[in-house]
Structure 1
Amino acid sequence: MRYPEGVRADGLPAVLSDPGRLAALGASGQVGSAPERVFDDLTRLAAAVTGCGIAALTFVAEDRTYWKSVPHLPYGGPELWQNAVADSFCYFPVGTNGPFVVEDAGEDPRTAGHPALAPWGVGAWAGFPIVTSDGQAIGSMCVIDAEPRIWKQGELEALAILARAVSSEVNLRVSLTATRTALDDARDALERAQHALTNSSELARSLQDSLLPPALRPVPGLEVAARYLPASGDAAVVGDFYDLFQGRTGWWTAVMGDVCGKGTDAAKVTALARYTMRADAGEHLSPAEVLDRLNTAMHAQRAPRFLTAVQTTFRTTPAGLSGRLCLAGHPPALIRRADGRVQQVGTSGTLLGVFPAVRLSDVRFRMAPGDLLLLYTDGACEARPDPAAPGPHRPMFDEAALARTLAETPGLDADATTQHIAAALAAHHGGFASDDTALLAVRVPPAPAAA
Structure 2
Amino acid sequence: MSYDPPRPAGRLLLTPEDKEAPARTRRLRRLGLGERPEPALDAFADRLAELTGAPYAMVNFPDAEGQFLAGLHTPAGGSAARGGKPELGRRLPREYGYCPHVVVRRKALVLEDVGDYPRFAGNPVVDEYGIRSYLGAPLIDTTGMVLGTVCVAALAPRTWGKAGLETIKATAADLVVRLETRAAPP
Q: TM-score range by the shorter chain?
A: 0.7 to 0.9
Alignment check: 8 A CA contact 2:58 2:151 kept: yes
Counterpart of 1:171, as a letter, is E
Paired with 2:33 and 2:21, the residues of 1 have a C-alpha distance of 18
Q: Partner residue of 2:109? A: 100
**CA 128–161 in structure 1, closer or farther in 2 if over 3 Å, else same:** same
Alignment check: 8 A CA contact 1:16 1:94 kept: no
Counterpart secondary structure, 1:141: strand
Alpha-carbon offset, residue 17 of structure 1 = 4.7
Q: TM-score with structure 2 length normalisation?
A: 0.78
Check if 1:30 corresponds to 2:39.
no
Question: Which of 1 and 2 has higher RCO (CA within 8 Å, sep 6+)?
Answer: 2
Counterpart of 2:17, as a letter, is A
Q: Partner residue of 1:199? A: none
Q: Partner residue of 1:413? A: none
Paired with 1:34 and 1:19, the residues of 2 have a C-alpha distance of 20
Alignment check: 8 A CA contact 1:24 1:132 kept: no
Alignment check: 8 A CA contact 1:130 1:140 kept: yes
Check if 1:151 corresponds to 2:151.
no
Counterpart of 2:90, as a letter, is W
- Structure 2 alignment gaps of length 5 or more: 9-13, 77-88
Paired with 2:19 and 2:178, the residues of 1 have a C-alpha distance of 22
Q: Partner residue of 2:72? A: 70
Paired with 2:140 and 2:7, the residues of 1 have a C-alpha distance of 25
Q: Partner residue of 2:44? A: 42
Alpha-carbon offset, residue 16 of structure 1 = 4.5
- Report runs of 4+ in structure 1 exceeding 4 Å deviation: 8-11
Paired with 1:16 and 1:85, the residues of 2 have a C-alpha distance of 13
The one of 82, 97, 111 aligned to 2:91 = 82
Q: TM-score with structure 1 length normalisation?
A: 0.34
Alpha-carbon offset, residue 59 of structure 1 = 0.6
- Structure 1 alignment gaps of length 5 or more: 1-5, 75-79, 182-451
Check if 1:135 corresponds to 2:144.
yes
| Cα RMSD, aligned residues only | 2.4
Alignment check: 8 A CA contact 2:55 2:75 kept: no
Counterpart of 2:161, as a letter, is K
What does 1:37-436 align with in structure 2 at a 5 Å threshold? 38-72=40-74, 81-176=90-185, 181=186
Check if 1:13 corresponds to 2:53.
no
Alignment check: 8 A CA contact 1:61 1:138 kept: no
User: Residues 250-298 of structure 1: CA distance to partner in whole angstroms, max 9, x if unpaired?
Assistant: xxxxxxxxxxxxxxxxxxxxxxxxxxxxxxxxxxxxxxxxxxxxxxxxx
Paired with 1:165 and 1:9, the residues of 2 have a C-alpha distance of 37
Task: Indicate the structure (1 or 2) with the bigger Cα radius of gyration.
Answer: 1
Alpha-carbon offset, residue 148 of structure 1 = 1.0
What does 1:427-446 align with in structure 2 at a 5 Å threshold? none
Alpha-carbon offset, residue 14 of structure 1 = 2.7
Alpha-carbon offset, residue 175 of structure 1 = 2.5
Of Structure 1 and Structure 2, which has the larger fraction of its residues in helix? 2
Alpha-carbon offset, residue 25 of structure 1 = 2.6
Paired with 2:90 and 2:56, the residues of 1 have a C-alpha distance of 15
User: Residues 224-252 of structure 1: CA distance to partner in whole angstroms, max 9, x if unpaired?
Assistant: xxxxxxxxxxxxxxxxxxxxxxxxxxxxx
Alpha-carbon offset, residue 50 of structure 1 = 1.6
Aligned residue pairs: how many?
A: 165
Alignment check: 8 A CA contact 2:22 2:63 kept: no
Counterpart of 1:13, as a letter, is P
Alignment check: 8 A CA contact 1:16 1:61 kept: no
Alpha-carbon offset, residue 90 of structure 1 = 1.9
